[in-house]
Amino acid sequence: MFEKLQGVEDRYIKLEQLLSDPDVVKDRAAYQKYIKEHGELSKLVSVYRSYQKVKNDLKGSEELLKDSDPDIKEMAKEEIGALEEQKEVIEDELKRLLTPKDPLDGKNVIVEIRAGTGGEEASLFAGDLFRMYSRYSERQNWKAEIMSSHPTGMGGFKEIIVMISGAGVYRCFKYESGIHRVQRVPETEAQGRVHTSAVTVAVLPEAEEVELNIDPVDIKVDVYRATGPGGQSVNTTDSAVRVTHIPTGVVATCQDQKSQHKNKAKAMQVLRARVLDAMIQEQNAKRSAERKGQVGSGDRSGRIRTYNFPQGRMTDHRIGLTLYKLESIMQGEIDDIINELTTYYQAQALKNEESIQG
């Protein structure tokens, strides 16, 4: 796997030459292209050069083992031990950097949170998950914007759809898709019994207009009067919008804005993301099977994660991760979960890459 790295370094050196070429500097498009590629290779080349240095130092220390002076031999042994450890750490870092990148990682996401099994308690937990993701996004300096919501009378949500924008959002959120199970005493429970409820989360990469051109003739637009909890009218005009992509049957609605135009624009953003997701799944049968297995129908059986409030425990069942800091997790401190999931799935991707190359 490391054989390709010399070629990467050669390309990096070539890019440095190009970026100092006056003709390239004058060509704004070419300059931007090369500087972006240079930045993307910078970390990998830096680690590779550290790897090369450690290998050369090891070679030098091994030569010292042939020395007749016992003190020099002993010193060489100690250096070799330290260098071997350093080499192993750098190799792990190189493997991580060489793991195939998901081309969607840099995209914004649309997160769809829906109450599943558990009635009002599931709706309340849907609201809790929305706040958890919103607080996490704030800490990352990302923007969270509600695209559509169906609130309940007690402060929960039957469904809430939010757009999260920022650098590398999809990379962090893509493993959140699935059924999230909660175990706690509901606010509506007079007997103090622990109930189990479920909420589904689907994370869709944002589809920009330039990469997914939907023909207007393939879109059906319906307008209707927006309503809120209990069915009362939110406004007296037909501002709510439902858009349907006729070829796929994908539907998106929005009623949160008073402006029909704004509701349509938001509904189209959600629609494009859903259509793109459907296309990706169609092209990748394995990913499609995984997503169906994760999200299911909102039943408890397909859970990926459990939030146990009486014990203050969160368990991610896919990787066997258990953390006893549920209160801080619900406040958006989910970095440990995301890092563990990312490391695990990167390792899986690396194994697959190595098996293909083997």
Whether 156 is covered by a domain: the verdict is yes
Whether residues 272 and 143 share a domain: the answer is yes
Whether residues 122 and 85 share a domain: the answer is no
Least confident range from 114-118, 181-185, 190-194, 236-240: namely: 236-240
Helices 260-283, 285-295: inter-axial angle, 10-degree rounding: 120
Q: What is the pLDDT of residue 324?
A: 97
User: What amino acid is encoded at 285 in this protein?
Assistant: A
Give 246-303 pLDDT, tens digit per residue.
Answer: 888 888 888 877 788 888 888 888 888 888 887 777 766 544 454 444 444 444 346 8
Using the 3D structure, point to which of 70, 98, 126 is the last residue of a domain. 98
Whether residues 182 and 305 share a domain: the answer is yes
Whether residues 160 and 262 share a domain: the answer is yes
Distance CA 38, CA 46 (A): 12
Whether residues 135 and 269 share a domain: the answer is yes
Half-sphere exposure of 166 (CA within 13 A, CB side): 16
CB 264 within 8 A of CB 220: no
For the domain that residue 10 is a member of, what is the CATH number? 1.20.58
Residue predicted with more confidence, 97 or 341: 341
Q: What is the pLDDT of residue 236?
A: 52
Give 310-357 pLDDT, tens digit per residue.
Answer: 999 999 999 999 999 999 999 999 999 998 898 888 777 766 655 545
CA 38 from chain center: how many Å? Answer: 25
Residue predicted with more confidence, 102 or 166: 166
Whether residues 131 and 213 share a domain: the answer is yes
Whether residues 136 and 283 share a domain: the answer is yes
Distance CA 244, CA 267 (A): 10
Whether residues 184 and 220 share a domain: the answer is yes
Q: What is the pLDDT of residue 298?
A: 42
Using the 3D structure, point to which of 66, 98, 130 is the last residue of a domain. 98
Whether 358 is covered by a domain: the verdict is no
Distance CA 158, CA 168 (A): 28
Whether residues 161 and 265 share a domain: the answer is yes
Whether residues 76 and 149 share a domain: the answer is no
Q: What is the pLDDT of residue 12?
A: 93
Distance CA 42, CA 37 (A): 9
In the chain, the percentage of residues whose pLDDT exceeds 90 is 48
Whether 104 is covered by a domain: the verdict is no
Whether 20 is covered by a domain: the verdict is yes
Whether 130 is covered by a domain: the verdict is yes
Least confident range from 113-117, 224-228, 295-299: namely: 295-299
Within 148-200, where are the H helices? 169-173
Q: What is the pLDDT of residue 337?
A: 95
pLDDT band at 203 (very low <50, low <70, confident <90, very high): very high
Whether 353 is covered by a domain: the verdict is no
Whether residues 172 and 321 share a domain: the answer is yes
The range of the structural domain enclosing residue 175 comes to 109-347
For the domain that residue 249 is a member of, what is the CATH number? 3.30.70.1660
Whether 14 is covered by a domain: the verdict is yes
Helices 28-64, 4-19: inter-axial angle, 10-degree rounding: 130
Q: What is the pLDDT of residue 168?
A: 87
Half-sphere exposure of 188 (CA within 13 A, CB side): 13
Average pLDDT over residues 191-212: 83
Burial letters 274-288, b for 16+ CB under 10 A, else e = bbbbbebbeeeeeee
Using the 3D structure, point to which of 73, 98, 123 is the last residue of a domain. 98
DSSP for 290-347 reads HHHHHHTTS-GGGEEEEEETTTTEEEETTTTEEES-HHHHHTT--HHHHHHHHHHHHH
Whether residues 186 and 284 share a domain: the answer is yes
Supply the mean pLDDT for the chain.
84
Number of domains comprising the chain:
2
Sheet holding 250-254, edge to edge: 219-224, 240-245, 250-254
Whether 352 is covered by a domain: the verdict is no
pLDDT exceeds cutoff 80 at 232: no
